[in-house]
Every structure is written in structure tokens, then in C-alpha cells.
Amino acid sequence: MTTDPHGTLATDAEGTTVRFERWYPTSVDDLWSALTERDRVGRWLGALHGDLRTGGRFELRMGDDLPGADQNATGEVVACDPPHGFAVSWAFPGEAETCVRATLRPDGDGVVLVLVHSGLTLSAARGYGGGWHASLDLLDDAVAGRPARSWQEAFEAALPAYREA
């Protein structure tokens, strides 16, 4: 199965949502591990610090691995149902708190990941669209055992499609 790697943007009274549906050639348990284990998250998204249990707080360091840096997201684990999905609050410096949900489901010889980032402004959603697109491309590299491509290059290639959305 193949899925369109591009996310969709939808706006309603509560804000704009970015939604991705990606297929990965691996097991649910392996993809869950890539999404939740610190060393594996570091290969595609950033250095993950904190308590990943429901109610726990985390910091995701996506630039320099420094506490409180302006490229760090913080949040709380709102719900967690291993290995099927999780929801976290998401706060980036200078932005309102939003929500990120990830759901995994088996599909043939792989797994579909549905990632939804909601509560965004349209402008922020366009940027997050390109950012999540690039990050999910790097997740694909990590799961497949390929060397990671440059996040910045992947982001710059993906961003125009979301700016026009």
C-alpha cells in the first residue's frame, strides 16, 4: 500500500488541523518504538527528555540539545495506549498550546501512522505541515535503516506545497 506523503490542512471554528496518513514497512511494535523510545526519536525528530507516561511532561529538543532553547517543544502526555496511539499537548515558544495525536494501525505488511496536529492558526499549520512532512520522511529513513537525510533540505522541499494550501 502507498499513501500520499502530503498532509492535509483543514480549518474549522477551533483552528486549523494538519493531518498526515503515512504507511511504513514495519510492525506496529517497531513503529511504536520509533515514536516513543528516546534513542529512536532522536534519529528523526530530536532529543526527547522527560516523563513519557500519561500526565508526564516532556521537552523535545529539535535544534541544539539545550534546555529551554527556542527550537524546543514542550508538552504533557494527555493519553497513551501502547502500541496503538498517544496524544500530547504541544507548546512551541511564542505559540499557543496545541495538540498532537498519533494513531497506528496494521495494514498488510506494514503500519499506517495517522498524525494529527490540531488547534493551529492557518499560518502555523502551513509551517507545521512542512515540518511534519520532513520529520515523517526522516522517520521513514529511520524505520527502514537508511541514513537520515537533512531535515532542513526535506523541509525546504516540502514547505511550498503547504504554503499554497
**pLDDT score of 73:** 94
**How confident is the model over 8-27, as a mean pLDDT?**
96
Task: Give the count of alpha carbons within 13 A of 62, CB side only.
Answer: 17
d(CA 161, CA 130): 8
Element (H, E) at 81: strand 72-81
User: Partners of 110 in the beta sheet?
Assistant: 107
Q: Which residues are CB-neighbours of 111 under 8 A, at least 6 positions away?
A: 23, 24, 26, 27, 28, 31, 104, 105
Tell me yes or no: is domain 8-163 CATH 3.30.530.20: yes
Entry pTM: 0.93
Nearest to 116 by CA among 10, 18, 9, 15: 18
Give pLDDT tens digits for 27-83: 999 999 999 999 999 999 999 999 999 999 999 998 655 566 567 999 999 999 999
Query: Where do the domains of the chain lie?
Result: 8-163
